[in-house]
């Protein structure tokens, strides 16, 4: 195959799915054997004007450790360790295609093997509860610039946003941050009203700040009560997204660590609600929907 080749006949089969609007193009590698470079293909497929459209590309592959393996690529082609909404959709796919019975199964991810319970609601929709694993709080595990900090970053003073004084009004943004890894890095800021946060201005500044050597997912959170939060996300490699499952899990952890929220919360995201729980000792648990939208065949460029 040449470096970039146009598919004219068979094409590349894909499935479009989303979890609360966090949408990806999925390729079922149990059945689709075409060769391609996912790093280069992901931006082509994810392009919302010239491609299928989505927050990225997810490959569902056979695994010798679990029911299936998930590989996730952001809209810019960078590979990420984990996607909470994506892994729920992978669970739906393996059950709906008959690779596993409904109920308990496991998915291999960049975070490790995660357990989940898949409850089909129809042939196209499932409710999925995922064991997201234990949060990582050590600076080197997130990672952050561990040369400048050695203790967990919980409600810590922050300079990663810059010196724009208008952002520090309490109704806009708290000047403190909490950093959590759910297998991928997250930073959480609290505010009085997420609607007032200039997400597209602050998000890329924080994502690419030198304090985060692998970049970071950025979340702004409004506590509506001790068991309900509202959040918006700037996702690493993709920008604003309708939902972020690992991010909501990190927010659940941050709320407990800072004393803002209870063990069980509901997170309101632009695309809908997720249920989260963390007992401050073991795994974070996340529950939410996975929905199949359509099937297609990509006959564009395949690198």
Say how far apart CA 134 and CA 157 lie, in whole Å: 25
Do the Cβ atoms of 202 and 161 come closer than 8 Å?
yes
Helix, strand, or coil (residue 292)? strand
Q: Which of 89, 191, 223, 244 is catalytic?
A: 244
Q: Which strand (E) or helix (H) includes residue 164?
A: none
Active site annotation includes 83: yes
**Four-CA torsion 93, 99, 103, 104, nearest 10 degrees:** -100
Number of H helices, E strands in the chain: 4, 19
CA R_g for the chain: 19
Q: Which of 83, 179, 191, 252 is catalytic?
A: 83
Q: Which residue is it, tokens 């390729």?
A: 27
The torsion angles phi and psi of 74, rounded to 5 degrees, stand at -70, 170
Active site annotation includes 244: yes
Cβ count near 289 (within 10 Å): 20
Q: Which residues are catalytic?
A: 83, 244
């Amino acid at each position: 195959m040449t470096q970039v080749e146009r598919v004219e006949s068979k094409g590349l089969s894909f499935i479009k799915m989303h979890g609360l609007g966090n949408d990806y193009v999925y390729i079922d590698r149990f059945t689709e054997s075409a060769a391609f470079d996912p790093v280069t293909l992901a931006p082509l497929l994810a392009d919302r004007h010239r491609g299928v459209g989505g927050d990225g590309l997810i490959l569902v592959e056979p695994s010798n450790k679990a029911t299936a393996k998930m590989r996730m690529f952001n809209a810019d082609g960078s590979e990420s360790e984990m996607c909470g909404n994506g892994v729920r959709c992978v669970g739906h796919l393996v059950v709906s295609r008959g690779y596993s019975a409904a109920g308990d199964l496991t998915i291999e991810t960049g975070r490790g093997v995660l357990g989940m319970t898949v409850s089909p609601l129809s042939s196209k929709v499932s409710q999925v509860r995922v064991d997201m694993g234990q949060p990582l709080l050590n600076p080197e595990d997130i990672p952050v610039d561990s040369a400048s900090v050695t203790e967990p970053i919980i409600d810590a003073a922050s300079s990663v946003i810059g010196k724009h004084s208008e952002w520090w009004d309490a109704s806009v943004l708290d000047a403190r941050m909490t950093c959590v890894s759910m297998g991928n890095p997250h930073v959480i800021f609290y505010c009085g009203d997420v609607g007032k946060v200039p997400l597209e201005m602050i998000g890329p500044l924080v994502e690419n700040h030198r304090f985060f050597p692998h970049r970071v997912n950025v979340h702004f959170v409004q506590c509506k009560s001790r068991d309900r939060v509202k959040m918006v996300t700037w996702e690493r490699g993709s920008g604003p997204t309708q939902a972020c499952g690992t991010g909501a899990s990190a927010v659940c952890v941050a709320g407990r660590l800072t004393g803002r929220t209870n063990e069980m919360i509901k997170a309101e995201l632009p695309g809908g609600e997720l249920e989260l729980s963390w007992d401050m000792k073991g795994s974070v648990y996340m529950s939410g929907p996975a929905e199949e939208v359509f099937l297609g065949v990509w006959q564009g460029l395949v690198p």
